[in-house]
Every structure is written in C-alpha cells, then in structure tokens.
Amino acid sequence: MPRSVGPGGLPQRAHLWLNEGFPTPGLPLRGAPHRCPAMKTIQKSSKLAHVLYDIRGPIMDRAKQMEDEGQKIIKLNIGNLAPFGFDAPEEVQQDMIRNLPNSAGYSDSKGIFAARKAVMHYTQQQGIKAVTLDDIYLGNGASDLIAIATNALLDNGDELLVPMPDYPLWTAVTSLSGGSPVHYLCDESQGWIPDIDDIRSKITPRTKGIVVINPNNPTGVLYPDSVLQQIVELAREFNLVIFADEVYDKVLYDGAKHTALASLSTDVLTLTFNSLSKSYRACGYRAGWMIISGDKSCATDYIEGINMLANMRLCANVPGQWAIQTALGGYQSINDLVCEGGRLRRQRDIAYEMLTAIPGVSCVKPQAALYMFPRLDPEVYPIQDDRVFFLQMLEATRVMLVQGTGFNWPRPDHFRMVFLPHETDLREAINRIATFLESYRNKHARSVA
Ligand SMILES: Cc1ncc(COP(=O)(O)O)c(C=O)c1O
C-alpha cells in the first residue's frame, strides 16, 4: 500500500482524522482522542481456530499489496470467470435487468416461484425423483445454502465426512457449525477417486453425513457411477445424509457425462447444491439452489431446522434469483466453451501440457471444472511449508496460486491452478512458474551436492 494511503483506501491523514477526532464543521470540538484504558485487544472467536480459506488468504493479501505498489499479478487462485472475459449469457443479464424493478422487496425465504419451478424441472431432466417446489431453496450462491445445511444438522462433536483435498468451505463451515470435519482420502494414484475403504473406516456413531464434490474442485475429476453407487450404499447402511456439491455439473470436457448423485436413490436423504456461478459464469450474481431429495419422512426435524435458518436470513439476493429461470432453460452456451476447440477446453489442454512438461511436476488430467491439482515431487522439490513457497513464487513471478494445504491436503506437495486466463496470459504464467521451479531445483541440487 503506498505510504499516503491508509486503511479502506482513505488517505493516511484522513484515517488519522477519523481516529483522532478531527473537528467537523458545525459540530462541537471533541476532546482528546479516546483511548481504551487497558488497551485490551479484541480477539477473533475461537470457533475460527480450525477455519481455513486460503483461496482468499495471506497469499492474496500479499498480492493486493503488490498491486497497490503498481505490480500486475496474474491471478490463478480463484475460479472467478468474469474477470477473464467469460461473460454471463446476455439473455440472462437482460432478464435480470428487466426484473430489477420487481426485486426491491424480500422474496419468500425459499425463493421466487419461477426460479424454483425451473430448478424443479432441472431435477426432472437429471433423473432426481419426486422433488416438489417445497424441496427447493434458493440462496446467495451455493455457499449460503452449504452453511445453512451444515448448521442445521450438526451438534457439537458430530462428524461430517469431507473429501481430502476439499473445497475448503466445507471443512470451514463444518467446524463453524460445531461439528468435526473428518477427511476421507481421494486417491491420486487412482485418479483422485474417493477411497471407499477409507470412508468406511472413518465412520463412527457420531458421523452424520458425507460431502461429495463431483465434478471435483480442486482436482477437476469426475467420479464414475460405480463409485457414486458405492457412496450411496454406504450412506444407506450407516444412515448418513449425502451432501452433493455439483456446482460444476455442466463444465465437462471430452464428452464426459455427469450423473447427479441424488438420481441414484429414492431413499437416501440427499441435499444437492448448485448455482449460476460456474456453468453460467455469474459468480457475482450470488444465485444458487439446494434440492432436498430422498426419504424426507425421517428428516422432518432437520428440514424444520433448515427452514428456520432460511427464514432467519429472510431471503437470497432477489435480482440474482430472476436470472435462474432464464439460465436453466434454452441454449446452454457453456457447451461452446467446453467442446473441442472451445476456449475452456483449449486452456485446460495448454495448462496440462505445459505444467506436466516441467521436471518433477505430474498431474491427473482434469475432465471437468476449472482447476488442476498438480503434484510437486518431494524428491525434486523438498518443500517444508507450501504457503511460504507459493508466497515466494508470487513475489518472484507475480503469479498467484494456492498451496495444496489450503485444500486440507496433508502434505506440502501440491498446488491448485485455475486455467481461466486467455491463452497468452496462461502461457506467460506457466512459463514464469517453470522458471521459478527451475531455479528452485538448481538451488536444491547445489545444496544437496
Ligand atoms: C466445489 C464448490 N462448491 C461451492 C462453491 C461456491 O459457489 P457459489 O459461488 O455458488 O457460492 C464453489 C466455488 O468455487 C466450489 O468450487
């Protein structure tokens, strides 16, 4: 941050005025600046002790500082499509604008009728059975509904099975809900597929549910139906609620087909999460939905809890809700981006080829989503602290990545990369990463010799 600028972008001097009682015209002169007698520090809640969200963490804070100093950063840290020229469909934007005058009031806490009806029809296309309007909730993105669903379910000490690596919101909200995230292994040697034996070995009397992220963030993997079926069987056997996070269900490459987990049973209670953020390139609209399916007769109390929490936050952003019906119907422009020759698919291929050409870097090729989760061979890159490593990479290259431990991966030997920038920027970014890794290898080889 330049020296003349203080917090909140205010000039340094203005910041001092605000803190020290600069005379305001028309108001009586205030006395000496007020100071707390004991200067007691204000601490964050201990509930945050196990909360981690490094996609927007210290590396991003440093990148912001560097930007304030005038440096240009290539941001490969977050799946935010619009800044890279992936526009939301025009018809969706227009319909939202047209409905803005009808959006000033709170809506029903579950959301507006037209959007929920469109989501209901979508569940019918996906083969999810017996979903009524009442089973559909709209939220401020999937994130809002994920927090509601976990808070309504978990008592202190209850366990939720969460994948490892994960999209870290799941681990964070589980902890914040008072629950304990228990991580099950997605096995890189098997193409990052969930390890069913590992899941089974981690189920205890306190296990309430299992989170399945498919297509997966951060690995970009799509799970085969046989694995999904085994997860459903486990959930049935141990009476677990399934949380199916499917926000990338239309971002699929190489002709891959996604199966909605909820379509595989009519009995297991399944909460499915989706949104306009990724498939419709509208992260900022904050428009998401949750579908409750399966046997709801055993979950009336849980559903009452969900309704209470949905009511307490009144409703989701109403302009964003108006975008949902238009998005889900009609032409699906995401298909133009993921097909052969499409921009996303081309960038996936470039990123995969360039990264895996770097010595000591390997990667399962993503079949879906916007990410890769490459491995840095610890023999070649003996990294001790991956957050420090990627902070150093940012400073040296002006390329921002997120370290693997930011996704609750237990070892400092992976990172996540977003392949959203245009081809020229993507190539430039990976070339800089390659140069940084080369200098690390050289330094390490010298220190070993
Ligand atoms: C797997 C996964 N789930 C949920 C979300 C949250 O999405 P939303 O923008 O709908 O809140 C994300 C965002 O990146 C994600 O990757």
What is the tens place of the pLDDT at every residue in 283-320?
Answer: 999 999 999 999 999 999 999 999 999 999 999 999 99
Q: Token pair 């929920």 is at which residue?
A: 116
Neighbours of 71 (CB within 10 A): 12
* Whether pLDDT at 26 is above 50: no
Residue of the nearest CA to atom 16 in ligand 1? 217
Amino acid at 80: N
**pLDDT category of residue 56 using cuts at 50, 70 and 90:** confident
CB of 9 closer than 8 Å to CB of 68? no
142-160 pLDDT per residue, tens: 999 999 999 999 999 999 9
User: Is residue 10 scored above 50 in pLDDT?
Assistant: no
Tens digit of pLDDT for each residue in 315-373?
999 999 999 999 999 899 999 999 999 999 999 999 999 999 999 999 999 999 999 99
Q: Side by side, which strands form the sheet with 193-194?
A: 136-139, 288-293, 270-275, 241-245, 207-213, 159-164, 180-187, 193-194
Q: Which residues contact 391 (CB under 8 A, 6 or more apart)?
A: 58, 59, 62
Lowest mean pLDDT of 17-26, 181-190, 234-243, 294-303, name the range.
17-26
Segment 263-268 shows an average pLDDT of 98
Distance 33 CA to ligand 1 centre (A): 44
Residue 143 CA: nearest ligand 1 atom is 11
Give the residue, out of 76, 217, 324, with the most ligand 1 atoms within 8 A of its beta carbon, to mutate for a pocket test: 217
- pLDDT average, residue stretch 385-390: 95
Find the distance separating the first CA and the last CA of the chain, reported in whole Å: 41
Residues having CB closer than 6 A to ligand 1 are 79, 141-143, 167, 213, 217, 245, 247, 275, 277, 283, 288
Counting residues of the chain whose pLDDT is more than 90, the rounded percentage is 86
Between residues 17 and 87, which one has the greater pLDDT?
A: 87
194 pLDDT exceeds 90?
yes
Q: What is the pLDDT of residues 243-261, one digit of tens each?
A: 999 999 999 999 999 999 9
If one residue of 54, 247, 281 were mutated to test the ligand 1 pocket, choosing by the most ligand atoms within 8 A of its CB, it would be: 247
Ligand 1 pocket: which of 171, 221, 278 to mutate (most atoms <8 Å of CB)?
A: 278
Q: What residue's CA is closest to ligand 1, atom 7? A: 142
Q: Are 122 and 276 in contact (CB under 8 A)?
A: no
Q: Classify strands 375-376 and 74-75 as parallel, antiparallel or unpaired.
A: unpaired
Report how far ligand 1's centroid is from the alpha carbon of 347 (Å). Answer: 21
**pLDDT (0 to 100) of residue 103:** 96
- SS3 sequence, the chain? CCCCECHHHCEHHHHHHHHHCCCCCCCCCCCCCCCCCCCCCCCCCHHHCCCCCHHHCHHHHHHHHHHHCCCCCEECCCCCCHHHCCCCCHHHHHHHHHHHHHCCCCCCCCCCHHHHHHHHHHHHHHCCCCCCHHHEEEECHHHHHHHHHHHHHCCCCCEEEEEECCCCHHHHHHHHCCCEEEEEEEEHHHCCEECHHHHHHCCCCCEEEEEEECCCCCCCCCCCHHHHHHHHHHHHHHCCEEEEECCCCCCECCCCCCCCHHHHCCCCCEEEEEECCCCCCCHHHCCEEEEEECCHHHHHHHHHHHHHHHHHCCCCCHHHHHHHHHHHCCCCCHHHHHCCCCHHHHHHHHHHHHHHCCCCEECCCCCECCEECCEECCCCCCCCCHHHHHHHHHHHHCEECEEHHHHCCCCCCEEEEECCCCHHHHHHHHHHHHHHHHHHHHHHHHHHC
According to the model, what pLDDT value does residue 250 have? 98
* Ligand 1 center from residue 420 Cα (angstroms): 16
C-beta neighbour count of 85 within 10 angstroms: 11
Question: Residue 246 Cα, ligand 1 centroid: separation in angstroms?
Answer: 9
Residue 19 has pLDDT above 70, yes or no: no
Mean pLDDT, residues 89-117 taken together:
96
Q: How confident is the model at residue 33 (pLDDT cuts 50, 70, 90)?
A: low
Of 144, 148, 167, the residue with max ligand 1 atoms within 8 A of its CB, to mutate for a pocket test, comes to 167
What pLDDT, on the 0 to 100 scale, is given for residue 115?
Answer: 98
**Cα 247 to ligand 1 centre (Å):** 6
* More confident site: 41 or 7: 41
CA of 379 to the centre of ligand 1 (A): 34
164 and 405 Cβ atoms separated by less than 8 Å: no
Cβ–Cβ under 8 Å, residues 365 and 355: no
Residue 375: φ, ψ to 5°:
-105, 140
Determine the distance separating the centroid of ligand 1 and the alpha carbon of 378, expressed in angstroms. Answer: 30
Confidence band (pLDDT; 50, 70, 90) for 37?
low
- How high is the pLDDT of residue 449? 66
